[in-house]
A and B are shown apart, each in its own frame.
Chain A
């Protein structure tokens, strides 16, 4: 009798548990709706330039990703390009303000990596362009391969004379990797190479002098701002040296078309921006993220209207 009574209680307990499961499954959708209604993640994007138009395509990608993944973006530029101290201060301020993740185009990767350690514990940091030790992920093309490809494009046209390599971001590991790789390829091909440091913003003032001083017949720039500055200076000063650069901005497309820039290594900034924000959101949500190097291609002026290059160079998004 006692045994029967215990069985009855066990049966009742199972019944209640199953009834609870039914109710739980009924209210699960409401619970998930409530979860979905959580406030969006706040992401801060800090670039290393003072001109945000250089990152307009990337920004489009970032906004698309933010829209899809329920995140809010704050896009911040520096008052002076490549001012690592200001960038660090901005990052610290954003972190203290409660940003869920940071996306940064580092001005000085090494310096940043030293200062980032106390930040990375608070919120994940995703890097664009240059790899920085201590950050969660880096979204960038294979910088060495990019430098090599650009140098090979120059070699196809090379008819003699030294090549001026513009080192406009000596602290940026990514930019330096491109420059070093290009230099290696050119030197291996027996092309004389002259490396000169210059600021991208001051290119208008110094490019002519640098070309004369180094007696070079070819110019290579390894970052968008430097390519833009060099192209502008070349047109202004009517320099004849072919220019090889890096960028995907509409300006560079125009210079490519006009022949001011002979060839440009380009990747989809839109994709880079999208992936950076997507990675930042997923990292902030403690999800597993793996990153492949961004694909790139070297576009010559005559090829910019090739359908694939149109898709690469000119964003469709409004």
Chain B
């Protein structure tokens, strides 16, 4: 369980990290709103349900109180008849001298709408007087009836029976009428002597029925009447219950106290209100189906559900829109920053949205602007630094070589070798003119090769033609440009290291050719060569500079210049084997006039 919870939390946290700010705002607001709405909805629902229940309860109690009042009036009327009969007629009559019949008939006629019969029995059940039917059936045995026995058992009380067919009187029409019998113990006077008897007043059941019928409670509720033992006295569907087509919870209801309670009967929840009818012990029971109480009805439920769904969706919809409105400037800002990261130039940084986002946008814009300026400064500084470095490297050529050459011119002049001196001076002049090249760092390949040629002319004179030189450029290289003074240092190395042991058979070749977008210049000699690892180490930046004879400019300087100018993919490659000679390959970009202009615009600013 704990692991599951942890996993769940982890997943949520993971989702949260991947969510957009809009989604987070939208979901959070919606969740809070839904919780609030559900809470409010439930509170209202409970309040509504409780109110509906209370209203139904109040209504039931009010109706039951009214019916109870009517029923008590009816029963009191019957009791008054019984009292009148007893205290006005029976008590005042000595059976030895007269009968009750006149008084009984008078009472009966006055109340015949609600009476079926009035009768007086002696203690053995024999009929003393009865109206309207005087005779008893031959099979009648009043003393066995419940009403008779109740009266004899509790002499001080009046007793109401449950509804029954009165079967003791001999009715020539054989009418069978449902009655509720009111019986009481009476003292009969016969010849001055009192004896026990029972007074029976049969109330028409329809009288009770009239009081109770037509009463409707809230939500299709109804009421019924039971005696203290739960026996049905009145029920709106009494005959159906008697026929076994319907059941009522009357026996259990007999145990309920006055007030309202809930019961479950035949799978249905019901609100039951009980009111005891005074004196009789009867109970009026009001039944209201609890499922029908407003809040639980199907329509109310559907309405609540639809309203909740509508509100939730409306909230989600509005939250989505509002959060989009809030987060859109942030998203655009993020997009702009992403574009900046990807290297896009001229990215428009918006300063929209609310105050904080405007400030953020403004700050980012300022930051980017500052960054651009800084970057420009750095580039400029780097360019200057590189140019300075190149100039320093280039400037390393001049002093040694000039000194050596001029020294050679001197001794040739002194030796009377004026032609050679003139040639050397001419070549030197030419060499310097190309070296200067009006301050350009990149010159035509032809000039560079001419520069090499003049240099070799000077060196051949100096070295008394111990080696020969072949300089050529293959077709396709016309019009290409190269970094100036890159061949001469290689030739210088070839002369001082390769041709040192040569005896008029030294050969140095310089060839230039184009390979695709690369200009390849090879300087090869047939000198003593070196081991490949030594050759490889010549370009090693960590190798200490070793000043040797010659111009003093190593191949490393050339290599570094080329790489500083064109990038790491260009530069020198040295191939050498001992006693076989050395070949130095110079790789340069094949720059024509257009390419050169483009390059100068990009690199030099």
Which residue in A19, A275, A310 is a CB contact (below 8 Å) of B245?
Answer: A275
List residues of B (10-49) whose CB comes within 8 Å of A's CBs. Answer: none
Q: Which of B298-306, B444-452, B498-506 is near enough to bind chain A? A: B298-306
Give chain A residues whose Cβ lies under 8 Å from the Cβ of B176.
250, 253-254, 313-314
Query: Cβ of A251 and Cβ of B313 under 8 Å apart?
Result: no
User: Bound complex: CA of A22 vs CA of B299, how far in Å?
Assistant: 11
Residue B314 is within 8 A (CB to CB) of chain A in the complex: yes
Distance A257 CA – B138 CA, assembled complex (angstroms): 11
Stretch of B94-102, B195-203, B233-241 with 4 or more beta carbons under 8 angstroms from chain A = B233-241
Contact present for A24 and B239 (CB under 8 Å): no
A280 to B163 CA separation, bound complex (whole angstroms): 32
Residues of chain B with a CB closer than 8 A to A189's CB: none
Q: Does B307 contact A (CB under 8 A)?
A: yes
A314 cross-chain contacts in B, Cβ below 8 A: 165, 176, 178
Q: How would residues 16 to 45 of chain A score, 1 for a CB under 8 Å from any chain B CB and 0 otherwise?
A: 001101101110110010000000000000
* B165 close to A271 (CB less than 8 A): no
Do B174 and A251 touch across chains, with their CB atoms under 8 A apart?
yes
Among residues of A, the one whose C-beta sits closest to the C-beta of B145 is A305
**Contact yes or no, B243 A18, CB < 8 A:** no
Minimal beta-carbon separation of A16 from chain B (angstroms): 10
Interface size counted on chain B using CB atoms at 8 A: 32
Q: Taking CB as reference atom, which chain B residue is nearest A259?
A: B139
A29 touches B299 (CB 8 A): yes
For the complex formed, measure the closest distance between the CB of B216 and the CB atoms of chain A, giving whole angstroms: 13
Contacts A15-B310, A15-B317, A318-B206 known; A26 to B244 CB distance under 8 Å?
Answer: no
Please, how many angstroms separate the alpha-carbon atoms of A29 and B307 in the complex?
A: 16
Cβ–Cβ < 8 Å partners of B306 in chain A: 18, 21-22, 24-25
Residues of B within 8 A of A268 (CB): 239, 242-244
Given contacts A64-B240, A310-B165, contact A254 B303 (CB under 8 A): no
Residues of A contacting B245 in the complex (Cβ-Cβ under 8 angstroms): 271, 274-275
- B174, B244, B302: the one contacting A257 at CB < 8 Å is B174
Taking CB atoms and an 8 Å cut-off, the chain B residues in 60-92 that contact chain A are none
Q: From the candidates A32, A253, A275, A317, name the one contacting B239 in the complex (CB within 8 A).
A: A317
CA distance A253 to B175 in the complex (A): 10
Per the 8 Å Cβ criterion, residues 291-310 of A in contact with B are 295, 305, 307, 310
* B185 lies within 8 A of chain A by Cβ: no
Query: Are B239 and A22 in touch, CB under 8 angstroms?
Result: no
Q: How far is the CA of A295 from the CA of B243 in the complex (A)?
A: 9
- Of all chain B residues, which has the CB nearest A29? B299
> B180-209: contact bitstring with A at CB < 8 Å (1 yes, 0 no)?
000000000000000000000000011001
From B312, which residue of chain A is reached at the shortest CB distance? Answer: A18
Per-position binary interface string of chain B over residues 218-260, scored 1 when its CB falls under 8 Å from any chain A CB and 0 otherwise: 0000000000000000000111101111000000000000000
Which B residues are CB-close (under 8 A) to A315? Answer: 239
User: How far is it, in angstroms, between the C-alpha of A12 and the C-alpha of B299 when the chains are bound?
Assistant: 25
Is B313's CB under 8 angstroms from A18's CB? yes
By a CB distance below 8 angstroms, the chain A residues around B164 are 307, 310
B174 touches A254 (CB 8 A): yes
Provided the pairs A60-B239, A274-B240, A316-B205 are in contact, do residues A25 and B302 lie with their beta carbons within 8 angstroms? yes
Say if the beta carbon of A103 comes within 8 Å of chain B.
Answer: no
Q: Which residues 236-255 of A sit at the B interface, judged by CB distance below 8 A?
A: 250-251, 253-254
Q: Is B603 an interface residue (CB 8 A)?
A: no
Q: Nearest CB to that of A311 among chain B residues?
A: B242
> Counting CB contacts under 8 A, is B378 at the interface?
no
Set of chain A residues within 8 Å of B314, measured between Cβ atoms: 15, 18
Task: Contact check, B240 vs A22: say whether CB atoms are below 8 A apart.
Answer: no
Within the complex, the shortest CB–CB distance from A75 to chain B, in Å, comes to 18
Task: Determine whether A289 belongs to the interface, using a CB cutoff of 8 Å to chain B.
Answer: no
Q: Does B309 contact A (CB under 8 A)?
A: yes
Interface presence of A11 (CB below 8 A): yes
With the chains together, A19 CA to B244 CA distance in Å? 49
A61 at interface by CB-CB < 8 Å: yes
Interchain CA distance A11-B317 in the complex, whole Å: 7
Q: Is the CB of A11 within 8 A of B320?
A: yes
Decide yes or no whether A14 CB sits under 8 A from chain B.
Answer: yes
User: Roughly how many angstroms separate A309 CA and B535 CA in the complex, as a whole number?
Assistant: 133
Per the bound structure, the CA–CA distance linking A275 and B303 in Å amounts to 37
Q: Which of these, B239, B305, B307, contacts A61 with CB under 8 Å?
A: B239
Given the complex of chains A and B, what is the CA–CA distance between A317 and B178 in angstroms?
Answer: 10
Contact B242 A312 (CB under 8 A): yes
Tell me if A222 counts as interface (CB < 8 A to partner B): no
Which residues of chain B in 265-317 are interfacial with respect to chain A, using CB atoms and an 8 Å cutoff?
Answer: 299, 302-303, 305-307, 309-310, 313-314, 317
Question: Of all chain B residues, which has the CB nearest A305?
Answer: B167
Nearest CB to that of A18 among chain B residues?
Answer: B310
Instruction: For B174, list chain A residues within 8 Å (CB).
Output: 250-251, 253-254, 257
Does A218 belong to the interface (CB within 8 Å)?
no
CB pair A25 B303 closer than 8 Å: yes
Expressed in whole angstroms, the minimum distance between the Cβ of A142 and any Cβ of chain B is 15
Q: Which residue of A lies closest to B234 (CB)?
A: A316
Is the CB–CB distance between A271 and B313 below 8 Å? Answer: no
Nearest A residue to B324 by beta-carbon distance? A4
- B231 (CB) vs chain A CBs: closest residue: A307
Give the distance in Å from the alpha carbon of A257 to the alpha carbon of B175 in the complex.
12
Residues of the A chain whose Cβ atoms lie less than 8 Å from the Cβ of B139: 257
- Assess the A271–B240 pair: CB atoms within 8 A: yes
Residues of B contacting A64 in the complex (Cβ-Cβ under 8 angstroms)? 237, 239-240
Q: Are B299 and A32 in contact (CB under 8 A)?
A: yes
Binary flags per residue of B385-408, CB closer than 8 Å to A gives 1, else 0: 000000000000000000000000
B-side residues, CB < 8 A to A, are 139, 163-165, 167, 174-176, 178, 205-206, 209, 237-240, 242-245, 299, 302-303, 305-307, 309-310, 313-314, 317, 320
Question: Can you sample 22 A-B contacts with CB below 8 Å?
Answer: A15-B310, A15-B313, A18-B309, A21-B309, A24-B306, A25-B307, A28-B299, A29-B299, A60-B239, A64-B240, A250-B175, A251-B174, A253-B176, A257-B139, A268-B243, A270-B240, A271-B244, A274-B240, A274-B243, A311-B243, A317-B239, A318-B209
The 10 A-B residue pairs whose C-beta atoms are closest, nearest first, are A271-B243, A254-B174, A311-B242, A25-B303, A268-B243, A18-B310, A21-B306, A25-B302, A22-B306, A28-B299
| 13 further contact pairs, Cβ within 8 A, besides A18-B314, A270-B243, A316-B205 | A11-B320, A19-B310, A26-B303, A28-B303, A64-B237, A250-B175, A251-B174, A253-B176, A268-B244, A271-B244, A314-B165, A316-B163, A318-B209
